Amino acid sequence: MPGIREPLLPVPGFSAMGINIGIKDTRLDFGVVSAQAPCAAAGVFTRNNFPGAPVLVGREHIAGGRLQAIVVNSKNANVATGLDGVEHARQTCRALGDALGIAPHLVLPSSTGVIGVPLPIGKLLAACGEAPRHLRADRTGLETFARAIMTTDTRPKAISLRCGGATLSGVAKGAGMIEPHMATMLAYLFTDAQVPAAVLQRQLRAAVDASFNRISIDSDTSTSDTAVVLANGQAGPVDEAAFGAALREACVYLAREIARDGEGATKLIELHLRGAASPEAARALAKSVINSPLVKTAIHGADPNWGRFVMALGKVFAHPLRLEELCIDFGEPGADGPPMRITAQVPAAALLERISAYLRRPELRIVITVGHGPEEITVWGCDLTEGYVRENALYTT
C-alpha cells in the first residue's frame, strides 16, 4: 500500500482501532490506540502561539512521562474553541479512560481538521464508550488507526522497524498547513522496547529535529502538531543508540511520506545543502529554497529555471554567499548519468534539457553547494500545484 513501508507490524502489548462516527461522511474519523499497561512516553508539540485545546491538555498529561492510550478525531481540530474546547478534550479523555478502566491523565487527546468549529462532543463521548470492542492487536488495528487520523492526506503513512528483540511502529498524517517547528502534524510511534521516559524524550526530540522539522509543504505551521512515542517495555531493554537510530529512521520515513503526500503535490523534493558556514545558515538557506513558491512551481512545470534557486538563496539576507562558489547538482551522478551541474556560468542548452527531463520524475534529489563551510542539512518538500490551490480555496465549505 503506498505510504506504508512493509511489513507493517503490530507491537506486542498495543491494540488499535479506527471507525467512522459521523464527523466525516463515511470515511474513518475516530481512532484509539491502547496499551495493556502504562508506558514510558515522550512528546513534542507545535510551537504555534495558539495551540489547539488537545495540545494544551496533551502537554499536561504527558508531563509525567507516562501514557496508556491515545484518542484522535479528524475533520475538526478543536482549535480556537475557547474554554469549551479544553473541557471537550478533558471530557474525551475521561470517557475513554472510563471505557478502558484507566486514569484520564494517561490518555493523550488529539484533534486535526478545521479550526474554529466546536467539536461534536456528543459523538466523541459515545465513540469512546464503544472503542474497547473495536480494538484489535493485529496489523488491521494499526492500519485503520492510520486511516482514521487522515484529513486531506491521500493515503495513510506507517512504518515498522525491528530493534534488537523489540518492534517500533509509527503512523503519521500530514497534507497541509505543514512547516512544523519542534513537532509535526500528527505522528504516533509505539514500541515494546524498554526505554526510560527521559531517554525517550531526548531521542524523540533529536529524531523530530532531523525529520519532521525539516519538511515543508506550504510554510504554514499548524496549531495541532504533535509527535508522541509510547514504550511499554514488554520486549525488555534494547541498545540505546540502536533504538535512537531506529526512531530517527522511522521519523524520517514518515516525514518524507508527509512531504510526498502534500496537498496537491505531484513530486517529493529532497534538497541537500552543504558547505554552509553555520547550522543556522544551512537551515535558513535550505528552507528558503524548499519554501520558495517560484522554485516549487518551476519544479512542478519541470522548468530548469535555476535562476529561481539563486534568488531564493539570495533572499536570506542574514547569510550572504559568493555566487562563484555556488553549484547546484540535480540527481545522483552515476545513478542518473553524467553530473547535471549548474554553476555561476550560464549553462548550455543541452544541460538544461537534461535537467528538465530529470525534473519530470516523481522523486527528486537536488544538492546545493553554497561554499566551503562545514555544515550541511537535508530538507524535504514538494511542488506547488493548481491542486493545492483548488483544495485550499474550498476546504471548509
Q: Which 223-252 residues touch its own copies, going by CB under 8 A?
A: 223
Helix (H, G, I), strand (E, B) or coil at 217: coil
Interaction between residue 27 and its own copies (CB under 8 A): no
Output helix, strand, coil percentages for the chain, rounded to the nearest 5: 35, 25, 35
Measured from the CB atom, is 207 or 316 closer to its own copies?
A: 316
Give CA torsion, residues 72, 75, 80, 84, to 10 deg: -60
Stretch that binds its own copies, among 47-55, 92-100, 152-160, 247-255 (CB under 8 A): 47-55
Interaction between residue 301 and its own copies (CB under 8 A): yes
Q: Which 93-122 residues touch its own copies, going by CB under 8 A?
A: 114-118
Please give the grid coordinates belonging to residue 298: 518551476
In 3D, which of 186, 176, 101, 93 has the Cα closest to residue 148?
A: 186
Interaction between residue 57 and its own copies (CB under 8 A): no
What is the phi-psi region of residue 56: left when phi exceeds 0, alpha when psi lies from -120 to 50, beta otherwise? alpha
Contact by Cβ (8 Å): 171, 1: no
Please give the grid coordinates belonging to residue 25: 461522511
Measured from the CB atom, is 17 or 299 closer to its own copies?
A: 299
Stretch that binds its own copies, among 4-12, 199-207, 228-236, 387-395 (CB under 8 A): 387-395
Minimum Å distance from CB 202 to its own copies? 22
Q: Tell the residue number behind the cell numbers 562545514, with chain if given.
A: 374
User: What is the C-alpha to C-alpha distance for residues 69 and 105, in angstroms, rounded to an integer?
Assistant: 10
Minimum Å distance from CB 39 to its own copies? 30
Contact by Cβ (8 Å): 211, 252: yes
Measured from the CB atom, is 116 or 279 closer to its own copies?
A: 116
Please give the grid coordinates belonging to residue 211: 525529520
Interaction between residue 297 and its own copies (CB under 8 A): yes
Binders of its own copies: how many residues, by CB under 8 A? Answer: 67
What one-character-per-residue DSSP string does 44-107 give?
A: EE---SS--HHHHHHHHHHTTSEEEEEEEEEEE---S-HHHHHHHHHHHHHHHHHHHTS-GGGE
What one-character-per-residue DSSP string does 139-190 give?
A: HHHHHHHHHHT-SS-SS-EEEEEEETTEEEEEEEE-SSS---SSS-SEEEEE
Task: Let me know if 396 is a catalytic residue.
Answer: no
Give the count of alpha carbons within 13 A of 97, CB side only: 17
Interaction between residue 298 and its own copies (CB under 8 A): yes
Stretch that binds its own copies, among 4-12, 18-26, 161-169, 292-300 (CB under 8 A): 292-300
Stretch that binds its own copies, among 132-140, 226-234, 272-280, 389-397 (CB under 8 A): 389-397
Interaction between residue 197 and its own copies (CB under 8 A): no
In 3D, which of 33, 81, 75, 74 has the Cα closest to residue 57?
A: 81
Please give the grid coordinates belonging to residue 102: 484507566
Stretch that binds its own copies, among 158-166, 241-249, 272-280, 381-389 (CB under 8 A): 381-389
Say which of 144, 184, 221, 385 is annotated catalytic: 184
Choice from 11, 17, 77, 100 touching its own copies (CB under 8 A): 77
Interaction between residue 320 and its own copies (CB under 8 A): yes
User: What is the C-alpha to C-alpha distance for residues 217 and 387, in angstroms, rounded to an integer?
Assistant: 13
Interaction between residue 361 and its own copies (CB under 8 A): no
Stretch that binds its own copies, among 41-49, 89-97, 141-149, 190-198 (CB under 8 A): 41-49
Minimum Å distance from CB 304 to its own copies? 8
In 3D, which of 291, 288, 293 has the Cα closest to residue 370?
A: 288
Interaction between residue 280 and its own copies (CB under 8 A): no
Measured from the CB atom, is 9 or 311 closer to its own copies?
A: 311
**Per-residue contact string for residues 142-181; x = within reach of its own copies by CB under 8 A:** ----------------------------------xx---x
Indicate which residues carry an active-site annotation.
Answer: 184
Enumerate binding residues for its own copies (CB under 8 A): 47-51, 77, 79-82, 114-118, 176-177, 181, 218-223, 291-294, 297-298, 300-301, 303-308, 310-317, 319-321, 323, 344-347, 356, 384-386, 388-390, 392-397
